């Protein structure tokens, strides 16, 4: 096979590859588009009383990771009446000590 034949064969295989790739992409797009429409029409779940409770005198809070903005959040919670910080943890001990 000379150079021209190899070039044409290579070009032909590239075209076939692109055709198959585009057909697959179009099929996936159509399937995903249809799936999104079905997902949007699903009714919301009713959790009812699972997440309801009476008023709490004290809200107990725990923090995992207090570096960066975490230490500022701890300070903010310390200034709120009725909030008790029960636990603070971080992999860097110095951040917990602050």
Using CA atoms, how far apart are residues 10 and 13, in angstroms rounded to an integer? 5
More confident call, 87 vs 11: 87
pLDDT in tens, 47-92: 667 767 788 899 999 999 888 888 888 899 999 999 999 999 988 8
pTM to 2 decimals? 0.44
Residue 1 per-residue DSSP state: -
- Tell me how far apart the alpha carbons of residues 55 and 85 are, in angstroms, rounded to a whole number: 18
Give the tokens for residue 16.
């076939």
Percentages (nearest 5) of helix, strand, coil residues in the chain: 60, 15, 30
């Amino acid at each position: 096979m000379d150079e021209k034949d190899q070039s044409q064969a290579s070009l032909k295989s590239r075209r076939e590859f692109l055709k198959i790739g585009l057909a697959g992409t179009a099929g996936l797009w159509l399937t995903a588009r249809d799936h999104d429409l079905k997902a949007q029409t699903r009714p919301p779940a009713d959790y009812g009383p699972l997440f309801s409770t009476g008023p709490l005198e004290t809200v107990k809070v725990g923090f995992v990771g207090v570096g960066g903005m975490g230490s500022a959040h701890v300070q903010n919670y310390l200034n709120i009446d009725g909030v008790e910080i029960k636990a603070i943890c971080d992999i860097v001990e110095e951040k917990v000590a602050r």
